[in-house]
Structure 1
Amino acid sequence: MRAFLYDRPTAVDEAVAAVAADPQAAFLAGGTTQVDLMKDGVWTPDRLVDITRLPLRGILVESQQLKVGALTTMEELAAEPVVAQRLAFVREALLHGASVQLRNMATIGGNLLQRTRCRYFRDPTVSACNRRSPDSGCAAVDNVARMHAILGVDERCIALHASDVAVPLIAVDASVLVNGPAGQRRIPLTEFWVRADEGPSIENVLGHGDLITEIDIPLLPQGWRSGYLKVRDRASYEFALTSAAVALQLDGDLIADIRIALGGVGSVPWRAREAEEMLRGTPVDPLRFEQAGRAVMASAFTVPGTAFKVDLAVRTLSRQLLTMTEAKR
């Protein structure tokens, strides 16, 4: 690993100023992904600004939302009783997202900022990667691409966003509070990430020196049910091939309201608004569940290695919709 400078500020403004003043500086929190990237030579900051001692950890429960400090660990959020009661699919995504050891180190803010797991991005000997080296091409398009995206991508980049918990978070319209050189602002998570087909070398809307300080998560209304289904090659510690986060409210046999997001298929966590619109206010119907999934997949861009994900994503969503509606009836 390359040598680097190390700072440990004691205040948020101090941390933001330290990174903003140095183009080669970056924040360090749990480091569960960053250290790997540094060892591989993919990410080479000259200065790390350690934010783990800043007062950005904890969960505040309000009547309609949770305010979660960015340094709160995945395990701490999963253990919060209100999450189990009112945001079951967030808890399930957290528990499916990593081993216990990693959940006790990885922070919520860091999870949202994790880099793609594309093998070509993470191998610096591969020259063709538009995400790592703009205008160099995309090696994944013509090579092994099983763990890649089919939505929000094109021939320039098919990198997948791997976060599990980000999927239900966009379903409930969570947002992040960001402190940066220009001050403080709030960003809805649905506007936080940049799709690969809109900018293959840009992952999110943060500028240099911007720091996530808080995640605000609206609570589902009483009477809603939610769940997260993750399909993967093995049952433990594996990234999703496809996943579905569903939250809904039934009125008899009608789906009164619904929220859907998909993982394992998009260059960003994917809000399935087409499916929501097709199902809201309609009777529970397995055939319509499949049709809703097909509507989301209509814009899929596939290569030989990812073509199977279209049908798998439809089945994943259909199965989770059946699970949620049967459990409520």
Structure 2
Amino acid sequence: MINFQFVRTSVIKTALGLVSKDSKATFIAGGTNLVDLMKRGVTAPEKLIDINHLPLKQIELKNNVLHIGALVSNSALAENQLVKEKFPLLMLALKAGASAQLRNVATVGGNMMQRTRCGYFYDTTMPCNKRQPGSGCGAIGGYNRMHAIFGTSEFCIAVHPSDMCVGLVALDAQVVLASIKGERKINFIDFHRLAGTTPEKDNNLQKGELIVRLEIPINNLNKNFHYLKVRDRTSYAFALVSVAAALEINNNTISNARLAMGGVAHKPWRLQLVEEFLKGKPATTATFEEAAKLAMNGAKGFGENDFKLKLAPNTIIEALTLAKAKA
């Protein structure tokens, strides 16, 4: 880890000014991922701007939209009564992530910004286009058990590690970003990127921008829902495959559906075509099996992760079945 400057501010405008003037400055909040990356030499910012004292810790309902400040901790969000009542799918996704100790420190904005846990990305002696563009992808033809089966490219097959983000993409969240020029809002599904030819770019956040809040519109998907995470051990393990499923069911017919996956792509993987397929269909095992088959269109394994081609559809079927069972 290199020497770095540490600056603390409690004013959003000041924080934005500091990072916009210095190309080697970055924000730090909980630091649960950034500090690890710095220790391993994967990233080396010369200035850290501590934003923990910015006024971004609100959780409030405004005009049927839940506003969540970027500095709300994962644990505070999971335990919030509004979230439990209105967005229980998000609560389950949050509680599936990391450990209780990390959730107490990790922030919503930081969770969105966390980087892949691919071993080649963390090992600076190995080739990784995400860490060093043009060096190659060690995971292709290497150890790739945890890697992507959707949206891959010849440049990168890493996966996005967040559970929270899988829940958020399923709930049609929006992200509010601030810069010295003002605020802009984008759909959560457009925040993260597929690897393509630029795997070093995890998201569409521009230099000098700060995540200030999330906005989630109220919906009727808080009765039949489930977040299913398949992993190697019960606690503190990243997903092999995860599924966020929420259904609106009337007289055993699905009138609305949300479905997203984690552990399978470079970004949270929303299954919008499958959602459309489910609408108007009976909430039966046969329907869920057809949906799972449709969800796997375009999936591709890379050897050691071929088992995901079977695990993924089975996880979808199980998540939908468990969502239906809630009443």
TM-score range, shorter chain: over 0.9
Unaligned runs of 5+ in 1: none
CA RMSD of aligned residues (A): 1.3
Q: Tell me which residue corresponds to 1:197.
A: 196
Q: Work out whether residues 88 and 222 of structure 2, in 8 Å CA contact, stay in contact via their aligned partners in 1.
A: no
Matched residue type, 1:56:
L
Aligned mates of 2:101, 2:222 — CA distance in 1: 33
Q: Tell me which residue corresponds to 2:251.
A: 252
TM-score by structure 2 length? 0.97
Q: Tell me which residue corresponds to 1:68.
A: 68
Q: What SS does structure 2 have at the residue aligned with 1:306?
A: coil
Matched residue type, 2:129:
N
Alignment of 1:286-305 (within 5 A): 286-305=285-304
Alignment of 1:207-246 (within 5 A): 207-221=206-220, 224-246=223-245
Q: Tell me which residue corresponds to 2:186.
A: 187
Alignment of 1:265-304 (within 5 A): 265-304=264-303
Unaligned runs of 5+ in 2: none
What is the deviation of 1:63? 5.0
Aligned mates of 2:108, 2:221 — CA distance in 1: 25
Matched residue type, 2:204:
V
Per-residue CA deviation, residues 135-183 of structure 1 (Å, 9 max, x unaligned), is: 2110001111111111111221001000001011111110111111432
Aligned mates of 1:98, 1:62 — CA distance in 2: 30
Aligned mates of 2:70, 2:138 — CA distance in 1: 34
Query: Identity of aligned pairs, percent?
Result: 42
Aligned mates of 1:152, 1:95 — CA distance in 2: 27
Identify the range of structure 1 (172-181 vs 222-231) with the bigger mean alpha-carbon deviation: 222-231
Residues 276/186 of structure 1: CA separation in 2 closer, same or farther (3 Å cut) = same
Aligned mates of 2:62, 2:45 — CA distance in 1: 38
Alignment of 1:16-31 (within 5 A): 16-31=16-31
Residues 223/159 of structure 1: CA separation in 2 closer, same or farther (3 Å cut) = closer
Q: What SS does structure 2 have at the residue aligned with 1:142?
A: coil
Q: Work out whether residues 85 and 222 of structure 2, in 8 Å CA contact, stay in contact via their aligned partners in 1.
A: no
Matched residue type, 1:218:
P
Aligned mates of 1:31, 1:221 — CA distance in 2: 35
Q: Tell me which residue corresponds to 1:2.
A: 2
Q: Tell me which residue corresponds to 1:13.
A: 13
What is the deviation of 1:9? 1.8
Q: What SS does structure 2 have at the residue aligned with 1:204?
A: coil
Q: Tell me which residue corresponds to 1:100.
A: 100
Q: Tell me which residue corresponds to 1:45.
A: 45
Aligned mates of 1:272, 1:200 — CA distance in 2: 22
What is the deviation of 1:224? 3.9
Alignment of 1:167-186 (within 5 A): 167-186=166-185
What is the deviation of 1:118? 0.6
What is the deviation of 1:287? 2.4
TM-score by structure 1 length? 0.96
Aligned mates of 1:195, 1:114 — CA distance in 2: 15
Count of residue correspondences = 327
Spell out structure 1 runs of 4+ moving beyond 4 A.
none
Per-residue CA deviation, residues 180-229 of structure 1 (Å, 9 max, x unaligned), is: 14321011111111101363221111111110011112233276422211
What is the deviation of 1:275? 1.3
Per-residue CA deviation, residues 280-327 of structure 1 (Å, 9 max, x unaligned), is: 111122123122122221111320011111111100010011112233
Q: Tell me which residue corresponds to 2:138.
A: 139
Matched residue type, 1:304:
G
Q: What SS does structure 1 have at the residue aligned with 2:140?
A: helix
